Amino acid sequence: MKRYLFNFYLAIEGINANKLRSFLTALGIIFGVAAVIAMLAIGSGAKQAILEQMKLIGTNNIVLTAKMSGQGGEDEEGQSEEGAAVGNQKEKKPFSPGLTLEDLHALESILPDIESVSPEIVLPTNVIQSAQLQKAKCIGVNNHFFDLNQLRLESGEYFHQTHLEGGKPVCIIGKNIQLKFFKDENPIGKQIKCGNTWLRVIGVLQKRQASKESLDNLGIRDYNSDVYVPVTTSLLRFKNRARMGKNRFARNNRGNNSEVENYHQLDRAVIRVGNSKQMKATAAVMARILKRRHNNIIDFEIEVPELLLEQEQKTQDTFNLVLAVIAGISLLVGGIGIMNIMLASVLERIKEIGVRRSLGANRQDIILQFLFEAVIISLLGGVIGVALGILSAKAIASSADIPTVVSAWSIILSFGVAATIGLIFGLFPARKAAMQDPIKALRSD
């Protein structure tokens, strides 16, 4: 052990005697380690952002959205029904009832793998309470909505079956609505007015933390600023767009370029499927069922957000791998630099090697001395590189608005790689120094 410690001290003295050269030797390791940590931080931040988005949309969900663009009557091949008519003869467009609750009931009865269905009716409105007014959205939902979107109550209760069946004037409010209208009091049991309808507050949702970027990317609302009512209450007490009227019949005779009033009873529905392996197949069958119910008019859109995010994650993993390879090349260049400088150091210190050998040092002692020097330089470069990498990750996050996460394993990995590089690339110069003939070494100038 004393022999190892003695060689270690000699290595430190050699580094102190050549500080500038040692620092320049460590520069490759410094920038290589900093690059590895910064690249891994960017990759980890992107992965965490994707996981947060997956939490927002839930798992095994299929999103069904009402669209107005399909009113022209396109079939699966994108050819219009009118285009299929012979000559220039004008034909009346097929009539689509739009997306309705009956569509969801039909899907539940036909597709056995559906676990739950959450319809949504979005109605912009004015919320009034205690002489205060705020624009908000009144959302018609059922209790599955809160479960699928992982929304939990802070106080109060969810809708009862009597609320859902009878169209009772009750509501659950988001946290921002509570802070606006009931800042210093308990809102449970209080009245709040949405449009022309007074509602009794029966629950308050916990605040959902989500960045504006995540909400925009996923096309979802800020759940904290909405008022939620039973879906039947929305249809009975607010507006039922599926109700027959003159506007409903008139839209069948309007041109493709005319502005069409929203005729969908539902704006959106989220459907949870039990078996994640059947997501694509279930979505395909849903599209065929809805197309048949809507008289071959594709006025809806079906998305599987989880599959889209998984594809995005695969792309991000590939990008992270490319970044890691680039950073690894930087470390490799740093290791080659260490080997080159150490080889030059051997040539400069041949006489020192001859003196040590003449005083009793064997080849193993010479190998240890130069190997210790290479490893110490690599570790010092690793320490500086870690600090530089963390600062770089923070600078990237603040300047480029890119999420970065510096993990402990990336720091440990960088240290391990730095030490390994010092060991591997320092071994050849150390062996070259040990193989010097001590007599010839003493004769050299």
Q: DSSP for 40-63?
A: HHHHHHHHHHHHHHHHHH-SSEEE
Q: Provide the pLDDT for residue 84.
A: 40
Cα Rg of the chain, angstroms:
35
Q: What mean pLDDT is predicted for residues 185-190?
A: 92
Beta bridge partners of 357: none
Band of the pLDDT at 122, cuts 50, 70, 90?
very high
Q: Provide the pLDDT for residue 174.
A: 92
Q: Which of 89, 181, 63 is nearest to 128 (CA)?
A: 181
Q: What is the pTM of this model?
A: 0.59
Q: Does 22 or 307 have the greater pLDDT score?
A: 22
Q: Provide the pLDDT for residue 257.
A: 44
Decide the pairing of beta strands 197-205 and 114-129: unpaired
Interacting residues of 279 by C-beta distance below 8 A, sequence separation 6+: 60, 62, 273, 304, 306, 307
Interacting residues of 8 by C-beta distance below 8 A, sequence separation 6+: 368, 372
**What's the DSSP call for residue 80?**
B
125-136 pLDDT, tens digit per residue, is 999 988 889 999
Which of 162-166, 257-261, 279-283, 388-392 is least confident? 257-261
Q: Does residue 169 register a pLDDT over 80?
A: yes
Whole-angstrom distance, CA of residue 100 vs CA of residue 207: 30
Q: In a 3-state reduction of DSSP, which class is residue 402?
A: coil
Which of 264-268, 316-320, 371-375 is least confident? 316-320
**Mean pLDDT taken over the chain:** 78
Contact, 45 vs 52, CB < 8 A?
Answer: no
Q: Does residue 72 register a pLDDT over 60?
A: no
Band of the pLDDT at 409, cuts 50, 70, 90?
confident
Helices 363-399, 350-358: inter-axial angle, 10-degree rounding: 140
Whole-angstrom distance, CA of residue 203 vs CA of residue 184: 16
Q: What mean pLDDT is predicted for residues 161-166?
A: 86
Band of the pLDDT at 97, cuts 50, 70, 90?
confident
Tokens of 99: 């997306």
Q: Provide the pLDDT for residue 129.
A: 87
Q: What mean pLDDT is predicted for residues 149-176?
A: 90
Tokens of 348: 């400069």
Q: Which of 327, 218, 298, 272 is nearest to 108 (CA)?
A: 272
Q: Does residue 371 register a pLDDT over 90?
A: no
203-253 pLDDT, tens digit per residue, is 999 987 765 555 555 556 778 889 999 999 999 999 888 775 555 555 555
Beta bridge partners of 300: 66
Q: What mean pLDDT is predicted for residues 176-182?
A: 91
Whole-angstrom distance, CA of residue 268 vs CA of residue 174: 19
Q: Does residue 189 register a pLDDT over 80?
A: yes
Q: Provide the pLDDT for residue 402.
A: 73
Q: In a 3-state reduction of DSSP, which class is residue 304?
A: coil
Residue showing tokens 């949405």: 194
Whole-angstrom distance, CA of residue 432 vs CA of residue 264: 81
Contact, 359 vs 404, CB < 8 A?
Answer: no
Q: Provide the pLDDT for residue 70.
A: 47
Q: Does residue 273 register a pLDDT over 80?
A: yes
Q: What mean pLDDT is predicted for residues 172-183?
A: 91
Q: Does 79 or 405 have the greater pLDDT score?
A: 405
Interior/surface letters 381-401, b for 16+ CB within 10 angstroms, e for the rest: bbbbbbebbbebbeebbeeee
Tokens of 444: 């050299």
Q: Provide the pLDDT for residue 127.
A: 92
Whole-angstrom distance, CA of residue 205 vs CA of residue 157: 10
Q: Does residue 258 register a pLDDT over 50?
A: no
The rounded percent of the chain whose pLDDT value lies above 70 is: 80
73-94 pLDDT, tens digit per residue, is 444 444 444 444 444 444 566 7
Contact, 34 vs 385, CB < 8 A?
Answer: yes
The rounded percent of the chain whose pLDDT value lies above 90 is: 21
Whole-angstrom distance, CA of residue 215 vs CA of residue 212: 5
Tokens of 275: 């078996």
